[in-house]
Structure 1
């Protein structure tokens, strides 16, 4: 019983300590576009939640001057800056530093477009806050960068992880679990692709609220199953996974739109972001399944104890649902 109480407590701590960044820690985004031999337009997006903005700033080599070109603006998840960058030498081979990056848990995605058509896509991390800018990025560089972004997105997307965990609990048996996870993967891959390619889209805030509500629904279904009342969800969890997975795909797309895509490599970046999401999901499923198997070895848990994970999941998701609905007006 102590084990389940600890699990429930951990769920509560996780939910209430991460509510400010309940979806995930999104990367900052730096876009640099060359407009003349020595001039560049710079777009700089820093993650925010409410009034809380991470203190980061791009620093270029001393022979470059960065000046703010217009008033900063707010998007749903970021503070947006527009700069002009002037230099007396070429940008390739110069040093880029993200000030204060080493003090955070945030990555920085960098996309650069030169007049000659060369493109750069790279990522800076807290343990690597500076880099010498190359002149061109290979397709492998794009694939690697967006795979890492996909893995980080799912592993720091606590609402998606909680949804997958609920699916694991309600999907009894390996065959049923495989069908359920496959259905969820297929569904969110479809809507992620449709949204990024402009075929279909949904507004972000309502999507995030319903994603949280989908977790509440699964928590209620788990409680019914533990009480011995089979439901359509417990019999065919793959059906629910596919239905809600379509919605989760729009959530992934919202994060990817905030991150940004290299315009000349959109299909490649999209494909490897999706692959990264699936790799992160597989890692989580393996770890969570292993932990659940160890707990299942003790078969004499009381009904109340068995229901603790479901109540913990439901409580966290309910909190997120209310928080996101309230966010519509504030």
Structure 2
């Protein structure tokens, strides 16, 4: 009962406190324009404007800013840019971001002239990275896999769709088949959009994602004993169709992060695998919760699923109106 109460409280709290795709990792990019001359841009998400002066990123010891960088707080993030002069190679130096209070981590990309792009991931626990030389593909894979996991676990719109799918089907085999269809579909559109083969404006994509959540909640709440809907008869088809839309949402988040030019395919693969790993965790966690509640009481399970579905539907409707009207 405590588990059920916690789940319901979380779902009912969401409309006022959460927005979809909350995870927007910050980024800091240093690109060498000419030998020793670097262009630096950064975006550091923050929940509210910082009090007082905004600290600037800390450059490697061999570098200094040419002049005071330009910074401002726009759209929930610190946006900044500047130019630096570096007297020698960055290898062996350190780079740091003094402000890591946002919902995500910071991805650092170093692009020296005529060398592969190097990627580092900074966190609140480890806000400094040591530059060791050209990036390895394994380093890129690690960074983008973790970002993929974080994105699905903090992207509540995708997460609520997956939870609703589990609540609707409940049987492990049916859930696995439908989740696999959802995975295959959004993997296709994620890859196609990230590689530039197809595109779709993000605003209608986000509205359609919210609509998919409302649709799934309505399916769960259908009156028992009525003729099974198309969704219940062919859940994998519905998961496949909505998965195509959700893939564009994942692609939008990935485009905000960027892909390293020398390792586009590995980074895309790692991000997608991270998303799937996070999704699998959610599916099995919800199935385990349902099994535990079912052992306690079948009536409690049915009531809990309906109440959770109302919470999911209200959240999806709130997001839908917000994305259409704003």
- The two structures share one fold, judged by TM-score above 0.5: yes
Determine which of 245, 250, 272 is the counterpart of 1:252.
250
Shift of 1:173: 2.2
Aligned counterparts of 2:153 and 2:214: Cα–Cα separation in 1: 20
Q: In 2 relative to 1, CA 4–288 (structure 1 residues): closer, same or farther, beyond 3 Å?
A: closer
Aligned counterparts of 1:178 and 1:61: Cα–Cα separation in 2: 48
Alpha-carbon contact 1:47-1:53 (below 8 Å) kept: no
Aligned counterparts of 2:233 and 2:211: Cα–Cα separation in 1: 21
Aligned counterparts of 2:210 and 2:106: Cα–Cα separation in 1: 27
Counterpart position of 2:104: 106
Alpha-carbon contact 2:167-2:305 (below 8 Å) kept: no
Shift of 1:76: 7.6
Provide, for residues 202-241 of structure 1, a one-character-per-residue CA deviation record: whole Å limited to 9, x for no partner.
Answer: 0111111110111001100100054645211122111111
Aligned counterparts of 1:136 and 1:315: Cα–Cα separation in 2: 48
Aligned counterparts of 1:231 and 1:199: Cα–Cα separation in 2: 34
SS, match of residue 196 in structure 2: coil
Aligned counterparts of 1:225 and 1:117: Cα–Cα separation in 2: 62
Alpha-carbon contact 2:212-2:242 (below 8 Å) kept: yes
Q: How many residues align?
A: 323
SS, match of residue 32 in structure 1: strand
Shift of 1:105: 4.1
Shift of 1:24: 2.2
SS, match of residue 137 in structure 1: coil
Counterpart position of 1:17: 17
Q: In 2 relative to 1, CA 90–167 (structure 1 residues): closer, same or farther, beyond 3 Å?
A: same
Shift of 1:322: 1.4
Aligned counterparts of 2:73 and 2:171: Cα–Cα separation in 1: 47
Alpha-carbon contact 2:121-2:143 (below 8 Å) kept: yes
Alpha-carbon contact 2:59-2:96 (below 8 Å) kept: yes
Q: In 2 relative to 1, CA 227–26 (structure 1 residues): closer, same or farther, beyond 3 Å?
A: farther
Alpha-carbon contact 2:217-2:313 (below 8 Å) kept: yes
Shift of 1:16: 2.0
- 2:148 corresponds to 1:150: yes
Normalised to the residue count of structure 1, the TM-score between the two structures is 0.89
Alpha-carbon contact 1:225-1:231 (below 8 Å) kept: no
Counterpart position of 2:236: 238
SS, match of residue 247 in structure 2: helix
SS, match of residue 57 in structure 2: strand
Q: In 2 relative to 1, CA 235–77 (structure 1 residues): closer, same or farther, beyond 3 Å?
A: farther
Alpha-carbon contact 2:40-2:83 (below 8 Å) kept: yes
Provide, for residues 135-163 of structure 1, a one-character-per-residue CA deviation record: whole Å limited to 9, x for no partner.
Answer: 11111001111110111110111111100
Provide, for residues 12-31 of structure 1, a one-character-per-residue CA deviation record: whole Å limited to 9, x for no partner.
Answer: 12332223xx3122111111
Shift of 1:258: 0.1
Counterpart position of 1:210: 208
> What does 1:192-207 correspond to in 2, within 5 Å?
192-207=190-205
